[in-house]
Amino acid sequence: MSAQPVRRPAARTWLEAVLTQRCPRCRDGRVFKGTFAMNELCPVCGLIFEREPGYFLGAMYFSFGMATGILVVFYFLLRWLLPEWRGEWLALISVLPYLPLMPLVFRYSRVLWLYFDRTCAPTEVSSPESWTQWKQQRQEEPPGS
């Protein structure tokens, strides 16, 4: 009779796990497998990252907040550096340094949404089996339905 391995608490703090984009449950598995591609399940604990279709629509709130904060900082920095320029031009120019940050905003908005949702609704109802079944049904549906 073999003993089951004891699951030790994650070595990372909540903040470290968010900054390194780790799973909200185990704080060990990576959320992303590429720049924009997410793991469907946590590679360590099996947590389903996308609980339902359209799940990451809530991440738009985080994305909007982060983008607004970054753009406001760039705008006022340009306002300080170029005080004689019109505000409309400064607003347009402030978008340029934001463009390379868009992948980070995308990634962190999803990670923050996962942590927020996991904190507000820490359910274990979603199982890998039901998720796999939903994924197969989605692939079998004809396009546009």
Mean confidence (pLDDT) of the chain? 83
Could you report the per-residue pLDDT of 102-132, keeping only the tens digit for each? 999 999 999 999 999 888 877 665 555 665 6
Q: How confident is the model at residue 50 (pLDDT cuts 50, 70, 90)?
A: confident
Q: Which residues contact 10 (CB under 8 A, 6 or more apart)?
A: 17, 22, 26, 27, 28
pLDDT over 90 at 79, yes or no: yes
pLDDT band with cut points at 50, 70 and 90 for residue 6: very low
The CA distance from 43 to 33, in Å, is 10
Specify whether the CB–CB gap between 33 and 24 falls below 8 A: no
Q: Provide the percentage of residues in the chain whose pLDDT is more than 70.
A: 77
80: confidence class by pLDDT, cuts 50, 70, 90: very high
Residue 129 pLDDT: 60
**Positive or negative torsion for Cα 28, 29, 35, 40:** negative
64: left (phi over 0), alpha (psi -120 to 50) or beta: alpha
